[in-house]
């Protein structure tokens, strides 16, 4: 897996080669990645070469050739932030589903799809009131469901997670869990009253809920103020 800076550099090199037909200079790479010196670019270039993504050609100026691209960069809406975080949305497209049976997942086609309850809306912005009632059901491919435990879906409201590939109006698929690792995107219940979709971090005994949009500040809470309600495993987008 590439680091965020490695992904950013590879993406920058590809875009410049597509535009100009030649790779950018080391100075241009340094400026694009906001690094202080070219030595950092040398290290990133070496790492990309060792992993087989680029090749340096001898005796040629700007002698870099892209050999392959990681799967994350081939997906629409790629961002280095989302790819490095460990979550890359599994997106399926479809129309809004009609109302379905009572709450609970139900097999529609064996191993092909499941119907999950959509438990209302979740804020990808400032927290909104906690969600508890089923609004409708949505069909989800079985391959999208991750690990053990129950799953449910929520409709996203807000744009604080756009750099993680999560847009206003998307349906997110959540696996129920009360624990999370640093970097996971979770449904967090704040002070038993408000629910929000954010990236989870532990910091010196506190919990930080990070947005994936620079317009939103990171919110930091005491450990006892935040309860993890589930972890993001998939996404459904309607057009």
The whole-number pLDDT of residue 18 equals: 81
- Annotated catalytic residue within 38, 39, 198, 227: 198
Residue pLDDT, tens place only, 72-126: 666 555 555 555 555 555 555 544 444 444 334 433 333 456 788 787 778 776 6
pLDDT-derived band of residue 5, with 50, 70 and 90 as boundaries?
confident
pLDDT-derived band of residue 45, with 50, 70 and 90 as boundaries?
confident
12-21, 96-105, 202-211, 228-237: segment of lowest average pLDDT: 96-105
Contacts of 91 (CB under 8 A, 6+ apart): 165, 234, 235, 236, 237
> Is 30 among the catalytic positions?
no
User: How far apart are the C-alpha atoms of 53 and 98, rounded to whole Å?
Assistant: 45
> Is 143 among the catalytic positions?
no
Question: Is the pLDDT confidence value at 228 over 50?
Answer: yes
The whole-number pLDDT of residue 95 equals: 46
Question: Is the pLDDT confidence value at 207 over 90?
Answer: yes
The whole-number pLDDT of residue 206 equals: 94
Neighbours of 111 (CB within 10 A): 9
Q: How is residue 99 annotated by DSSP?
A: P
| 153 DSSP β-pair partners | 118, 173
13-17, 122-126, 205-209: segment of lowest average pLDDT: 122-126
**With contact defined as beta carbons under 8 Å apart, do 64 and 45 qualify?**
yes
Residue pLDDT, tens place only, 30-43: 888 888 888 888 88
Question: Is the pLDDT confidence value at 203 over 70?
Answer: yes
Three-state SS for 133?
coil
Residue pLDDT, tens place only, 146-171: 656 788 888 888 888 888 888 888 88
The whole-number pLDDT of residue 208 equals: 94
The whole-number pLDDT of residue 186 equals: 93
Strand residue runs (E) in the chain? 54-56, 64-66, 91-93, 106-109, 113-123, 128-129, 136-141, 151-157, 171-175, 185-190, 194-203, 206-210, 219-222, 226-237
Q: Can you tell me the mean pLDDT for 39-59? A: 82
pTM: 0.54
The whole-number pLDDT of residue 65 equals: 83
Which of the pair, 232 or 100, is modelled with greater confidence? 232
- What are the structural domains, with CATH classification, of the chain? 4-74 (1.10.10.10), 91-237 (2.10.109.10)
The whole-number pLDDT of residue 86 equals: 52
Closest CA to 80 of 25, 2, 13: 2
- Annotated catalytic residue within 79, 160, 227, 238: 160
The whole-number pLDDT of residue 200 equals: 95
């Amino acid at each position: 897996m590439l680091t965020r800076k490695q992904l950013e550099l590879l993406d920058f090199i590809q875009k410049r080669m597509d535009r100009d037909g030649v790779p950018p200079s080391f100075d241009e790479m340094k400026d694009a990645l906001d690094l202080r010196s070219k030595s950092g670019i040398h290290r990133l270039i070496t790492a990309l070469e060792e992993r087989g993504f680029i090749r340096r050609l001898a005796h040629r100026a700007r002698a870099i050739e892209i050999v392959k691209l990681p799967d994350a960069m081939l997906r629409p809406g790629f961002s280095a932030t989302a790819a490095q975080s460990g979550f890359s949305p599994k997106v399926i497209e479809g129309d809004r589903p009609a109302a379905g049976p009572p709450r609970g997942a139900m097999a529609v086609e064996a191993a092909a799809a499941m119907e999950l309850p959509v438990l209302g809306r979740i804020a990808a912005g400032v927290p909104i009131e906690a969600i508890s009632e089923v609004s409708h059901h949505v069909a989800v491919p079985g391959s999208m469901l991750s690990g053990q435990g129950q799953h449910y879906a929520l409709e996203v409201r807000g744009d604080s997670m756009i750099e993680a590939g999560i847009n206003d109006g998307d349906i997110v698929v959540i696996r129920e869990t009360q624990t999370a690792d640093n970097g996971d995107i979770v449904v967090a219940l704040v002070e038993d009253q408000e629910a929000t979709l954010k990236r989870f971090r532990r910091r010196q005994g506190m919990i930080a809920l990070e947005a994936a949009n620079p317009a939103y500040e990171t919110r930091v809470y005491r450990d006892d103020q935040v309860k993890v309600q589930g972890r993001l495993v998939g996404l459904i987008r309607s057009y």
